[in-house]
Amino acid sequence: MSAVSSVMQGVSAHSHSHSHSHSHSHSHADSPAQPLVAALVRQLQRRVFVFGPGGNALAAALGVQLLPFLVVCCVPLGGCVPQLVAFALGSLLGEVFLHLLPESPPETVGVGVFAGLFVFVALDKVVRVLTGGSSGQSHSHSHSHSHSHSHSHQEKDEHSSKEEHASKEEHAREDASTSVYVRVLTALLHNTTDGMTIATAFYNSPAAGAVTAVAFVLHELPHQLGDYALSARGVSSTGAAQWRFFRRSVLWAVLGSLAGTALCVALHEGLSAAATAPQFGSVQDYMVPFSAGGLLYVAATDVLPDVLAAQGAGVSRVRDLCSVLSQLAALVLGFYMMMGGH
């Protein structure tokens, strides 16, 4: 216990040197979750994150994508996806409200959080424009097929019905092909921003980077479980399904995460080399709340909708209520576990 206390004191001391107000780090000193997460952070710093900020960020970006993939392939977790999603939401919110926002200087927190949200919204809109609004096109195809099918049924024209069936199959193949490209592009851009957030956390402090990496692993696990379920449809072999999932999803997520991390590392290294210490410190003060804004966007748009949509199997109201309560408990547990990482 004394070793854990010394680790927490070291993390708190670093936080005091980085920010203007960090007295909150002592308010969780008696939390039972604190020794567990603090010990995990300490082991990660000793055994994994042993490089400089840039090297640690690249290692974390790689691990954040590959560790959930290994868990998905080796551990059967399909029955608890709703609880995992809720736990991931709690961990992301804990990282924002217990770590990033308290470590942000009061004079930059508002602008920094807004900037993070704005950049992520802008990237999301750009992705939708580049993909041509695929969801809207798919909806339009569905309506046109329905109308044509109704017309052919009224005329009872067998030849027209066959042509309609062939047209449906052709459009289905086109939509499936488009969906693959949309998912690849989305994974690249989405994980690029995730990599930037991870790199910023490591340049804030090694402990902050380790906690952020843990939060992202918890976020990616249920996300990859859902993607794997979609990729495995129509594939009889488990090995073939895993390779298909890695090729179509995980590989591009890894490339995007590494690209975003490398970009942010280059930015930080360039600023530290070109700018004076006070100037670089002011940039750092904006980057921490910027990361908080990015994580808030991920939690609100990528995770929260899944939590709200998961209402149970619909067998009975009692079972559905138990499912909802278990998800809420998992959300609180995810937030509570993050209390120990500071």
Enumerate residues 6+ apart whose C-beta is below 8 A from 87. 218, 222, 330, 331, 333, 334
The three-class DSSP label of residue 131 is: coil
Give pLDDT, residue 113: 92
Q: Read off the pLDDT of each residue in 85-96 and give the average, rounded to a whole number.
A: 82
pLDDT tens by residue, 285-320: 777 788 788 878 878 887 788 888 876 656 678 888
Higher-confidence position of 71 and 291: 71
pLDDT at 145: 40
Domain membership flag for residue 276: yes
Rounded CA separation 339/94 (Å): 7
Domain that holds residue 199: 2-141+168-341
Q: What is the pLDDT of residue 57?
A: 92
Q: Flag whether 155 is in a domain.
A: no
162 falls within a domain: no
Say whether pLDDT at 167 is over 70: no
Q: Does residue 67 belong to any structural domain of this protein?
A: yes
Asked if pLDDT for residue 42 goes beyond 70, the answer is: yes
Q: Which pLDDT value is given to residue 58?
A: 92
Q: Residue 211 to residues 46, 107, 203: CA-CA distances in angstroms?
A: 14, 24, 13
**Cα dihedral across residues 96, 38, 60, 45: positive or negative:** positive
Q: What is the pLDDT of residue 178?
A: 44
Helices (H), the chain: 2-18, 33-47, 53-74, 81-95, 106-130, 134-155, 158-204, 206-231, 238-245, 251-274, 277-298, 304-309, 317-338
Length of the chain equals 342
Q: How many domains does the chain have?
A: 1
| Tokens describing residue 32 | 């039972």
Which tens digits make up the pLDDT trace of 321-340? Answer: 888 899 999 899 888 877 75
Question: Is residue 262 one of the residues assigned to a domain?
Answer: yes
Judged against a pLDDT cut of 70, whether residue 187 lies above it is answered with no
Yes or no: say if 209 and 201 are a contact pair by the CB < 8 Å rule: yes
Per-residue pLDDT, averaged over 29-51, amounts to 72
- Give the mean pLDDT of 5-19: 40
